[in-house]
Chains A and B, each alone.
Chain A
Amino acid sequence: MIGKSRKTRKKSAANISPRSTLRVDVWLMRHLQVALASLGRLVRTPLSTLMTILVIGIALALPSGLYLLLNNAKTLSGNWDGAASISLFMTQETSEQRAEQIAEQLRNDPAILKVQLISRTAALEEFRQLSGFADVLDSIKDNPLPSLLIVEPRPEHAEPIPAEALLARLRKIQEVEFAQLDLEWVRRFHAITEIAQRGVMILASLLGLSVLLIVGNTIRLEIQNRHAEIEITKLIGGTNAFIRRPFLYNGAWYGLFGGISAWLMVAVSLLLLDNPVAQLAGLYQSGFELRGIDFSTLITLLGGSTVLGLTGSWIAVGRHLHQIEPS
């Protein structure tokens, strides 16, 4: 029913003005003109435009920068996932030769990439050097330390679940006193990044809201400044859509340029961080490199900021345009 009455209304509106039937190319041309005109309007007040853009840029750079750092941290932990290893402590009775045999057997296991044997003697020697208890150790007759096998699974077995299965299998070896999977801390790290991710999301929502408010407020002032123009346009038969259009383009431009400035801020910050991070990674003998904003993230950032700007101006225009009626 509603649809029908709308249809007839549209029809009679068309009857009023046959000229209102626009051709597509004229329509596109108009949009392009309005878009460029609103851009020109922004350029004519460079200082205030720049300030608005920078405020939006900062508001967007914060969450995007944090998101990027988080992503980098994740790739870092991804490297560590691969390095998850299982420590097998042999019983005291196990001789070094037997430990060597077991290590050899395990090296042939398809799930295992590498096995490193730290023999009892070697362990004792290392402990003597590092602990500073050399005198105490000398007074003990028997070597209290067991042999240790460090088992590194193949990558496909390094994920938490298959790694647990491998651990259970290795525990069944008779000579193994105690087996430990060094995955716990990786899990904790995952949990922490999970929390950080949530935090970044919350921050992004709040700052996104602030972008809406910034653009909304800027457009509201713009509407006030152009009060006379809006009134006269309504007097000569400008539709609300026609009057709304330049303000919407304004908001979209603010959003887009805000997004670009956010991107530049993040890129410059990364550039500043790049050297120290490379140095730190070098200290850990790691080839880790900070990853910048990739193409799809950039598109998301710019698209999102444009939509935010558009929405902000839409809200402002919807609220304030109806209040201006010619008299």
Chain B
Amino acid sequence: MIHFDNVTKRYPGGHEGLSNVSFHIEPGEMVFLTGHSGAGKSTLLKLIGLLERSTRGQVRVAGRNLTRLSRGQIPYHRREVGMIFQDHRLLYDRTVFDNVAMPLVVAGLGHLEIGRRVRAALDKVGLLSKEKELPITLSGGEQQRVGIARAVVSKPPVVLADEPTGNLDPTLSREIMSLFEQFNDVGVTLLIATHDLNLISRMNRRILVLDKSRLAKDSAAEVPC
């Protein structure tokens, strides 16, 4: 599903965000990406979501070669990749419902279909009762769940999460992780960047470790069920 072949990302000024990284993630896998801050976790995710482009090497997602994708095709690619951020990136002047509905509105779905899917997604993350509220009135964990609902509402085959539990306490973090496992159960490919080693060590999933922009370790041991 996600293929990195000798990928290097060099920023203007010579700093390398990623150096010669190669790995494959199969469809339906749930993989953790870890490493110290500045090791290149965010850079790797950005390359998959085409927020940035690789300097060298090839990135392929769902069979598409991202190096060759034109600017005009980027939006269509992003609709296939749900992204979750540590800072949620919600719109605070819109209700929870409207926030979650955005990917569907962008994709041009009909009114009824949007309502149905948004409620299903909100139900999944346990926020159906808060659909009319503004995100600012919600707790951090709830806001993160709104962000997750938005990322999965259009049922993308790939979901990326950048430090999704970064600001949450252990209990809430576990809740978020169990949500991710539920998505994974229905076939969604997940790549989750986190430095919470405690949390992921107990989850028995494949872990990619980045160190100084290089792939230091790939524990392709456990196979997802």
**Is the beta-carbon distance between B107 and A229 smaller than 8 angstroms?**
no
**Is the beta-carbon distance between A26 and B110 smaller than 8 angstroms?**
yes
Q: Mark interface residues in A226-247 (1 if CB within 8 Å of B CB, else 0).
A: 0011011111111110100000
**Is the beta-carbon distance between A237 and B106 smaller than 8 angstroms?**
yes
Q: A229-B91, A232-B91 are in contact. Are A16 and B77 (CB under 8 A)?
A: yes
Residue A27 at the chain B interface, CB threshold 8 Å:
yes
Q: For B111, what are the chain A residues with a Cβ–Cβ distance below 8 Å?
A: 29
- Interface pick from B67-75, B179-187, B195-203, B206-214: B67-75
Residues of B62-112 contacting chain A, CB below 8 A: 64, 70, 72-73, 75-80, 83, 89-91, 102-103, 106-111
Q: A22-B108, A235-B78 are in contact. Are A13 and B73 (CB under 8 A)?
A: yes
Chain B interface bracket (under 10, 10 to 19, 20 to 34, 35 or more): 20 to 34
Chain A interface bracket (under 10, 10 to 19, 20 to 34, 35 or more): 20 to 34
Residue B51 at the chain A interface, CB threshold 8 Å:
yes
Across the interface, name the chain A residue whose C-beta is closest to B42.
Answer: A327
Residue B150 at the chain A interface, CB threshold 8 Å:
yes
* Cα distance A231–B91 in the bound complex, in angstroms: 10
* Cα distance A91–B90 in the bound complex, in angstroms: 98
**Is the beta-carbon distance between A232 and B102 smaller than 8 angstroms?**
yes
Across the interface, name the chain A residue whose C-beta is closest to B51.
Answer: A326
State how many angstroms separate the Cβ of B182 from the closest Cβ of chain A.
Answer: 21
**Is the beta-carbon distance between B102 and A233 smaller than 8 angstroms?**
yes
Chain A interface residues toward B at CB < 8 A: 9, 12-13, 16-17, 19-20, 22, 26-27, 29-30, 228-229, 231-240, 242, 325-327
Chain B interface residues toward A at CB < 8 A: 46, 49, 51, 64, 70, 72-73, 75-80, 83, 89-91, 102-103, 106-111, 150
Q: Which 5 A-B pairs have the closest CB atoms?
A: A237-B79, A237-B78, A16-B76, A238-B106, A239-B75
